[in-house]
Structure 1
Amino acid sequence: MTDTTIAPNHPCWVELSSPDVESARTFYGSLFGWEFTEPGPMGFGVKAVRDGRVVAGISPQPAEAPAGQPAFWSVYFRVAELTDFLARVDTGGGQAMMAIPEFDGTAGVALVADPAGTAFGVLEYEDDRGLTGVDVTGAACWFELHTKDPAVHEFYGAVFDWEISPVSDTDEFRYSTFALPDTGTPRGGILDTSNVGIPAHWESYIQVEDADAVAGRVRELGGDWLAAPHDSTHGRVGRFIDSQNAAFTVIQPR
């Protein structure tokens, strides 16, 4: 997928919530070759653009955010009808933490927690405000839930109509992929983090041409390594924090 119209129930947006948008622009612009335009899809912040395609967003943290809160990345999913989706969330044991059914006359947005409390965003829209670049260099190519509660599989399958398929089911590595029935193509995964000290969260993988070069550049720009680049089944993967302590992952596909 390169230039794309994203169908409902697919990941449609990735956004950094930052205490210093200008510093974030400098870091990611230098690291991934992103350029920026205003505003973002919710009327504030900026869109990140690579080779003419919208690949991410950066927004300022709200004024009520605790002092010293680090930056963090969020994943949003497109939904066909926000009110109906939130009803499914409630039935499935999740909750809407914030919902704006119509914020600019053409779109709605909500921040939702799954039954284990892990947050993600949803957007209802009929225009082109979502990502237009996916699965290309400098753009998100994989979307992953880290969770300590395997029961959330049922929740996500119900609210998004995903087919969730186990890949590995050992105590050392428990992992599943998710796909929509109409495509059958996995768009992301669910990793059981019960045995590791990673907080539950959604994240995206950014596709790069050279993971080792990116790793070196991260430290030059004031970030650091969480996991050095290493080979995996699908490519060379590295996990880092940016200059404002937001964690992110890159992959150099095979």
Structure 2
Amino acid sequence: MTEASGLHPDLAGRRVLVTGSSQGIGIAIARALSGAGAKVCINAPSPGAELDDACREAGAILGIAANLSRPEEVERLVAAAGQALGGVDILVLNAALQERQPWHGFDRASIDRQWELNLAANYRLIQAFVPAMAERGFGRLIAIGSIQQVREHPEMLVYAASKAALESMVRNIARQVAGQGVTCNVLAPGAIATARNREALADAAYRDAVLARIPAGRLGTPEDCAEVALFLASNAARYVTGTTLFVDGGMHL
């Protein structure tokens, strides 16, 4: 398969799974990769109109309902995506759980929920798909991290820790498979205007405080992240691996 480089990558024939992709950054990435010619499966925690609508909007071939905080549903997602696509060439790990508490207030259940989805489930998906990428001599692993890897939020200690652990895991795997045509990178968004953040950003004082920390002077959009994901999925990024790209308007500085 040949692939264009530059601003218009051609992903025709590439098979893609994007987790947590019925809205926000996930659906924007799915839409971008599908628009470049890839066959895309998307995922949401439960079936329903939102998943069906997202599937149509993203141009996906299948929407798979699976709650990835449950190990048995991770296995079901692996089976369904494998059957629909015949294998996965590009794996985008976007599904995540973010819970807020004072740093000393997290109970065991909250810790387990966030750790299970944000790290353990992602590891199981990597185990399921990345070894086959290496055998075929091509693959892209794109994990969605967070600005909190380097600028932790005081009420999201567990979420921030899980994203830092995910970054470490991806970097470790990148070393193992770099010689087999597989790149592994983290895309770390900053403050992005998504449904998850809508309520918090509706508070003018909070929004102003967030904007004051962003050198670019604006919130990001899901499309800002999708364009970077498209680059990482493309042949143009064939020599980029084991790194974290912050899509944050300079917020990490």
Same fold, TM-score > 0.5, yes or no? no
TM-score relative to the length of structure 1 = 0.31
Tell me which protein shows more helix as a share of its residues. 2
TM-score relative to the length of structure 2 = 0.31
Tell me which protein shows more strand as a share of its residues. 1
